[in-house]
Structure 1
Amino acid sequence: MAMTVNSSGSSAGALFSAAGIGSGIDVTSLVTQLVAARKAPLQNQIDSQTSKTQMQISALGQVSAALAALQSALGPLKDGSALNAHGVAVGDDTILTASSHDGAVNGSYQVAVTQLAKAMKASSGAFTDSNAAVGTGTLTITVDGQAVNLDIDSAHASLGAIRDAINGATDNPGVSAAIVTGTDGAHLVLRSTRTGAANGFSVSSSGGDGGLAALAYDPAASSGNGLTVVDAAQDAQFTIDGLAGSSAGNTVSTAIDGLTLNLAAPGSTSVTVSSDTAKATSAVTNLVNTYNSFIGIYKNLTRYDAASGSAGALIGDATLNSIKGTLAAVFGGAANGSSLSAIGVTLQLDGTLKVDSGDLSSALSNGGGSVKALFGGSDGFAAKLDSALDNWIGDSGILETRTDNLNDQLSSLSDRQSELDSRMAALTTRYTRQFSALDTLLTKLNSTSSYLTQQFDALTAANKNK
C-alpha cells in the first residue's frame, strides 16, 4: 500500500494554514470556532429569554409605580383630609393667629384677649459675683405639688454652683436658673419653664448655716421672702363671642372645635373659618392626572408598530389588560349612587379622564358635601379603587407575585448560563487535547515524509550515476 504525504502543499496543509506545533494546524482558532458553533444556538436561546424576562420585569415595575402613585393620589380623598380642609382668616394677626385641624366648621367668631399667659420669674438680691457664697443646707423648690430637694454643701454653696444644681437636677419640677449681672451685682433669677398660674413656684430652705434663706419665696407670705417676683405666673384670659375662657398657655386648642388659637397680645379681633376648596380641587386634579399617566404607560407597553414590527413589552398581557379594564370600570362606574361625572370628571374616548373645573367648583361650593358622599364610605369610590389597588400592588399582590416569578426565571437562566459555560469549557479542553494530539501525529508524519523523500532522491541519483 503506497502513501503519499505532501508537506508543503497538500490539502491538509491548506486546511491547517496557521502555525501549530509543527504540522501547521492552528489548534486555538479551530477549537474556538468549533466550540462557538456548538454554543451559539444555546447561548442565543438564553440571551433571548433573559432579555425578554428583564423587559417584562421593567415593564411590571412601571405599572406598579404608576398604580402606587394612583393610590397615593387617592389618599387625601380617601381619608377626607383634602375634603375637610378649612381656611382661617384673622382680622388682626398682631392679637392672635389661628389654624384649623380636624373638626373645624365654617363660622365667624369675635375673640377678645384680656391677658396673656405668663411664666413666673423671681430674682434674688445682689451678690458680688457668681462665685459669692450663698449658704449651705437643703433648698426645696416646689411647682404644683411636685418638689425637688437640693443638698447644698460648703463646696457647692456659691451662686453659680446653686444655679448648676437647680438646672442639673433630674427631678426638677419645672424651674430654670440663670445669673443676671447688673450694676449692683449678680442675681440668681429663677423662672418657671411652663406658663400658667398653676406653674408658679415656691422655694424654702432648711438646715445648714441659714444662708439659703436668701433664695426663699413663699407666695402666701407678705414679708421675709428672699426672692422678689419679677413676673407673676398667670393664665391667659379671653372671651369668644362674650363667653369667658382661660388657658395655662398662649396656645389654645380646645376653645373652638377644630381651631388652634395662638394668642399674641391683648385686644379684640374676628376669626373666620371657611372651606378651603383649593386642596380638594388639587386632590381631584392630581388623581385624574395620575390615572392619565397610567393610561399613557399602558398604551406604551401594549403598542405595536407595524412599520418596524416592534411591540411593547406587555402586548397582549392578560394581567395588564385586566387592570386597565377594572380601572376603567371603577372610574366610569357608580359609587354611593353617584359618579365622577357628577363632580365634573368624565371618561374620554381615548381612555383618559378630563376635569371640568366649573363643574368641580360647583360640587365643592357647598362645603364639598357631594364630593365627600361620592368618595366616602365602604361603598364609596375611594374604597372601591383602593381595594382593587391593594389586590394588584400589595405585598402579596398580583404584580409582586409575577415579578417574583420572573426573578426566579432570571435566576434559573443564570444557572443555565453557568452550566453552559462549564460544558463549553470542558468541550474546549477536550477539543484542544484531541487536536493537539492530531497536530503531534501530523508532525511525526511530516518528519517521516521528509526522511523518505530524501532517501528516494538519494536512490534516484545513485541510479542515474550508474
Structure 2
Amino acid sequence: MTTSISSSTLGLGGTSGLSDLYTSATKSLLAQNPGIKHIDAQLTRDGARLSGLGKLALALDDFRTSAGKLSSDKLDMAASSSGKAVGAQLTSKEAAAGTHAVEVKQLAQGQQLASKALPDKGAALGSGSATVIKVQTGTGSNATMTTVRIDDTNNTLDGIAQAMRDAGLDAKVVQDGKGYSLSLTGKTGAANTMSISVAGDPVMTGLLSYGPGVNSAMTQKAAAQDAQFTVDGKALTSSTNKSDTAIAGVSLSLTATGKSDVAVKRDPSAIAANIKDFVGALNAMNTKVAGLKTGDADGDAAIIQVQNQLGGILDAADPKALADMGITRKGNGLVLDEAKLNAAIAADPDKVTQLFGKSGTGLADQFATRITQQMSKGGTLASQAATVQAEVDKLNTQKQQVTDTINRQASLLVQQYASAGTGGSSLFGAGMTKPMSLFDFMA
C-alpha cells in the first residue's frame, strides 16, 4: 500500500503546512530518482508492446472468422437474417441448412459508473501524491484486477481517464450542465460488476471509490446485464451481444430487440461471394498487421513471425491452380480476377470448393488452424503477451517499492525539519537554528 502522510503520522499534532512540505519533498525525491525514470520508460515501452499484441490478435481473429465460414466443403452455404435484430455469419462446418426463429429480448451491456461533476477537467486534484486505483471486475475466482497509478503528472480528470485507458479500461470524461465527470464503463455481462478501491491521496478516494463495503463516491448510471434471447423458442443468455453456439456453425450478432428469421441454405452464387470476402479479409488483415510495426525490434518480432507463418501457407499453395481461378499472389496478399473466378466456378465448382474449403487441407482451414495455434497457449502471440505482462508486473512491483521508500524518506525529512529549530533533534548539532528550507536537508 502506498504510504501517505498526515499530522498524526508525523507525530506533530495539527502542525500547519507539514502535509504540503511532505508533498513537495516527495515530488523532489521522485524527480531526482533515476530508478523511477528508468522504470517508467520501460513501462511505457512494454505498454506499447502489449497494445500492439492486442491489436494484432484482433486483426487475426477478424480474419479467422472470415476463413472459418469457407472451411468444411460448404463454400456454397450462406446465412442471412430477415430483420435488424440479428446479424448472421457462417463460422464452421457444423452449419446445416434450415431456418431458425430468433427473438432478442434484451441486449448485453456493461456497468457504467460516473464521478461527481467538477468545474474543470484539467484542474489538478489533490496534492499529486502517489495514488493506486484498483478496479476489480467480477467476483470470486473469476475476478480480474486492473491497477492504475496516479501522481502529480496526471492528477486531473483528463489524466485519470487517460491512465485508465492506458491500463485497458473504458474511461472518458463527459460533460453535462453540472460540469465534467469521469465515466467508466465495464465489460458487458451481469457477472462483470466493478468495485474500485483507492489508496493514497484522500481526494482521489473521495472521487473514485465504489463498491460494497465502501463509502462509494461514484454512482451507477447503468447496471451490468446479459443479453437475453430465444432461438426456436429456447431461452438463452450471453454475456456479450454475440453467440457462436446458439445455432451450430453460425455466429449471431445481436443488434437490437425484436424478432428475425435466420436462414442457412445452399446457394451456388455464394461460392464466388465467399471467396471474394476471403481475399478481401486476407488483404485487410495483412494491411493491419504491417501497420502495427513500430521499429522496436523486440516488439516487431512477433509480428514478423506471424507474417512468416501465414505467408508460408500461400508459399505452399499451387500457384497455377490459384491462377486458373483468377487469383494471383501479391506479397502476403492476393489479387482477384472475378470474371475468371466465375468462369472457373461454372466449369468445375467442386474443384474450387476443394482448393478453398476442403476440411484440413483447404486454404481457409489452413489459415484458421494456424491462427488458432498462434493465439492459443504456447503459440506466438500468447507466449509473447505472457512474457511482456510478466515484465510489466515485475516493473510495477519495483516501482511501488521505490515509491514507498521515497515516501518514508520524505516523512523522515519533514519530521527532522519540524524538530530542528526546537532543540528536539540532534541531527543538526546543538544551538543550530532551523534552516531556511526543508530542501537544505536534501542537498
TM-score (norm 2): 0.45
* Larger radius of gyration between Structure 1 and Structure 2: 1
